[in-house]
Structure 1
Amino acid sequence: MTGTRSAVVINPAKVTDLDGRRKEICAALADAGWPEPLWLETTPEDPGCGQTRQALGEGVDVLFVCGGDGTVMACAGELAGTSVALAVLPSGTGNLLAANLRVPSDVLDGVGLATRGQRRRIDVGSLESYCFTVMAGIGFDASMLEATSDRMKARIGPSAYVLAALRHLRDRPMRLRIRLDGHPAMRRRARTLLVANVGRLEGGVELLPDALPDDGLFDVAVLTPRHLRDWLALAWGVLRRRPVVPRMETFRARRVEVIADRPYPREVDGDVIEPAATLNAVVRPAALWICVPP
């Protein structure tokens, strides 16, 4: 059989019936006239980077990623700058990139999306050795993610993030110096700073509704609530999609450099990384091909 060569990078921890999922994907590809894909499973030691490099070495045209945002992030970092397209098959609890690009959650629909050939170039962000497609952050958001266990996410879904957030509402603010595209630094006392490629959060909340994944720019959000009433006003403004949200400033930039008064928790695409007093991100415009709906 001839046809488009593909590989599947799958996180076994995110799939309850691994054999069933493999048969499902292979059958859908066969129906589309594609040969059987290279099948590569992630490990606790390698979340997808080595598997993606192996697939690239085999000369695949499309890489299916079956896992959560962490698996997608690992694979995207290796695919950025190549001509190989990423096809997301959401299987984790977050799947924020898929949600922002309106990628279907059903596996067969996701396979069909890739085999029909609709492609789009999107930007990716670089932060130290990390690549991100959704957003990176320092402060409250990373603390919330760190306090949210996989067990709670599996049991109650997005509500697990709300419970975790309540534990950190009274954390002290960060003292930040923020430099955008080399301009003079701004000083802020903030609870969190987000560098976003897309604007939709867990539960469908549109924090940055004007953020576009292919405009060559980050959307930067600086949240500065001081009291519980500030948090409530901010949340209400976001939920109502107000043009001006209390206690939130937004900017756009290609390069973001942040220096904090001390190390704070940080995250990239929903994965907590090592705490630090810096968050320096650069956009890579149109670096990643991805399969998307028309």
Structure 2
Amino acid sequence: MEHSPLWLLTNSASGSNTDSAVDEVAASLAAAGHAPGRVIRFPDEDLPTGEELDAAGVATLAIFTGDGTINAAGSALEGWGGALLVLPGGTQNLLAKSLHGDVPVEAITGALSSARKIRRRAIRTSQGAGLIEVLAGPGAMWADVREGVRDLDLATIAESFGNAFRETRDGPGVRLTDPVAGKAEGYRAVRIGCSGDQLEADGYDFADFGEFAAQGFAMLVKRDFRQGPHDELGTFDAVTLVSEAPIALMIDGERREGGREERITCDTFALDFISTAPAGA
């Protein structure tokens, strides 16, 4: 598979995107025979468009950022004829892990000669597509705390932590109504991902809010909440979420604001991703 010409997209706000780290990634790509023809440093530079990439003859856009920037770049490029090479450059790197396994950049670039192109399913909401997951409900407010942590802004952390705690404690829950599933009163957070061709939904409720205030920072801010207590609500072709207030959304780790009713679907995302993991892994 030919991956060149290749451009590299980075994000200075992602934790691992130091100048030296970017240089190492570029060197690793060059050692694999795919030296970046250009390095785009977002947000100082705009995300590339499909037209811009086509005009330059780019075959592959390598992305060394967190999941949120990958989502933004991928969403802007849906329908483009090239391919995305997702490299682990953020905190959780969930998309990179799903495409390559939990391996470092060097292992990915070293396996490019045997890589394959795949299409992925996406979770569709009124506020955009999730390539990994969507969290809906008051619990999604914890993504605002993440922003403060990312910027090391203590005032923002304190304010957003208080808001997230209050909303999770007092905000109206989210219910699944079409089809009906789970608790009639709803949940503090509903996590939705794709499982094969269907949506997979889990409901999270937090009875002990003092404990949740301590755990919420670690679980939701770090997006490692899957291991927490939850109800497995099932798999669905599509789901409708309803609430008495606009539904807070966290799409691939980034905050969005939905409506009081959100219809969530799952379909194929019209963009090729490069995977170095064995087929079926």
Residue 194 in structure 1 maps to residue 191 in structure 2: yes
Partner deviation per Cα, 1:204-231 (whole Å, 9 max, x = no partner): xxxxxxxx4xx12111122244446997
Aligned match of 1:124 in 114, 122, 125?
A: 122
Corresponding residue SS for 1:13: coil
Partner deviation per Cα, 1:168-192 (whole Å, 9 max, x = no partner): 6961363444244xx5688442111
Aligned match of 1:84 in 78, 82, 85?
A: 82
Deviates further, 51-60 or 81-90: 51-60
Partner deviation per Cα, 1:130-177 (whole Å, 9 max, x = no partner): 1211111222431222223453798xxxxxxxx899946961363444
Letter in 2 for 1:29: L
Corresponding residue SS for 1:70: helix
1:16 is displaced (CA, Å) by 5.0
Over 4 Å off, 4+ runs: 163-166, 183-187, 227-231
1:274 is displaced (CA, Å) by 2.7
Q: Identity over aligned residues, as a percent? A: 19
Aligned to 1:40: 40
The answer on whether the counterparts of 1:68 and 1:95 sit within 8 Å (CA) in structure 2 is yes
Aligned to 2:10: 10
1:129 is displaced (CA, Å) by 4.4
1:195 and 1:64, CA in 2 relative to 1: closer, same or farther beyond 3 A?
A: same
Cα distance in 1 for residues equivalent to 2:210 and 2:34: 56
Aligned to 1:157: none
Residue 289 in structure 1 maps to residue 272 in structure 2: yes
1:266 and 1:26, CA in 2 relative to 1: closer, same or farther beyond 3 A?
A: closer
Letter in 1 for 2:193: A
Output the TM-score relative to the length of structure 1: 0.70
Aligned to 1:254: 237
Aligned to 2:132: 134
1:221 and 1:35, CA in 2 relative to 1: closer, same or farther beyond 3 A?
A: same
Residue 219 in structure 1 maps to residue 217 in structure 2: no
Letter in 1 for 2:105: V
1:270 is displaced (CA, Å) by 0.5
Alignment of 1:56-135 (within 5 A): 56-104=54-102, 106-135=104-133
The answer on whether the counterparts of 1:136 and 1:196 sit within 8 Å (CA) in structure 2 is yes
Cα distance in 2 for residues equivalent to 1:134 and 1:61: 24
Residues matched between the structures, number: 258
1:74 is displaced (CA, Å) by 0.9
1:95 is displaced (CA, Å) by 1.8
Corresponding residue SS for 2:200: strand
The answer on whether the counterparts of 1:173 and 1:189 sit within 8 Å (CA) in structure 2 is no
The answer on whether the counterparts of 1:52 and 1:75 sit within 8 Å (CA) in structure 2 is no
Structure 2 unaligned blocks of 5 or more: 153-160, 213-218, 220-225
1:96 is displaced (CA, Å) by 2.0
Letter in 1 for 2:24: E
The answer on whether the counterparts of 2:137 and 2:188 sit within 8 Å (CA) in structure 1 is yes
CA RMSD of aligned residues (A): 3.8
The answer on whether the counterparts of 1:8 and 1:40 sit within 8 Å (CA) in structure 2 is yes
Letter in 1 for 2:91: T
Corresponding residue SS for 2:69: helix
Letter in 2 for 1:92: G
Letter in 1 for 2:121: D
The answer on whether the counterparts of 1:3 and 1:33 sit within 8 Å (CA) in structure 2 is no
Cα distance in 2 for residues equivalent to 1:239 and 1:129: 26
Letter in 1 for 2:4: T
The answer on whether the counterparts of 1:87 and 1:110 sit within 8 Å (CA) in structure 2 is no
Cα distance in 1 for residues equivalent to 2:91 and 2:26: 24
Cα distance in 2 for residues equivalent to 1:175 and 1:166: 14
Aligned to 2:215: none
1:100 is displaced (CA, Å) by 3.7
Cα distance in 1 for residues equivalent to 2:62 and 2:140: 28
Letter in 2 for 1:5: P
